[in-house]
């Protein structure tokens, strides 16, 4: 049964290349936060410009509809003087691209962070679900 589903997806991808697209990339952000106060979140702090970076990502090939996007931290260089606090958020998602928000808060000093992202079509229509634990 599983092998049959995989075959169908592969045939669909070969028959209509735009139906099943995956694109990926990497982002480097330097000097994120200089350790100031302890605001609740970086995007509500007075020092927002120093506590976050907005990176515009444009897809090499546009999707037919807004894709699903996952982002993760692949490398991090931070000070050991405080706890490490880092957040990644995908915003303003369209068929053409999205904005990746990389932020820190409180007294965290981040010298460099590398984030990777993957955008892909929702072939099975499962959508992105958030789970509160």
* Total residue count of the chain as it appears in this document: 133
Full strand arrangement of the beta sheet holding 109-120: 22-34, 109-120, 68-78
Mean pLDDT in the chain?
Answer: 74
Task: Specify whether the CB–CB gap between 129 and 68 falls below 8 A.
Answer: no
CA 114 to the chain's CA centroid: 11
Confidence bin at 95 (pLDDT 50/70/90):
very high
* pLDDT score, position 30: 73
Q: In this predicted model, what pLDDT tens digit does every residue of 47-94 receive, in sequence order?
A: 455 678 899 999 999 998 899 999 999 999 888 888 888 999 999 999
**DSSP states of 64-112 as a string?**
SS--EEEEEEEEEEE-SSS----EEEEES--SSEEEEEEE--TT-EEEE
């Amino acid at each position: 049964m599983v092998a049959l589903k995989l075959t169908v997806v592969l045939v669909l991808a070969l028959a209509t290349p735009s139906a099943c697209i995956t694109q990926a990339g990497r982002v480097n952000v330097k000097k994120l936060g200089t350790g100031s106060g302890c605001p609740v979140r970086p995007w509500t702090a007075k020092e927002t410009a120093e506590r976050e970076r907005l990176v515009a990502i444009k897809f090499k090939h546009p999707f037919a509809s807004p894709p699903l996007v996952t982002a993760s931290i692949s490398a991090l260089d931070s000070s050991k003087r405080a706890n490490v606090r880092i957040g990644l958020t995908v915003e303003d998602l369209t068929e053409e691209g999205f904005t990746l928000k990389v932020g820190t808060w409180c007294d965290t000093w981040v010298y460099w962070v590398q984030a990777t992202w993957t955008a892909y079509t929702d072939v099975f229509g499962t959508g992105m679900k958030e789970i509160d634990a």
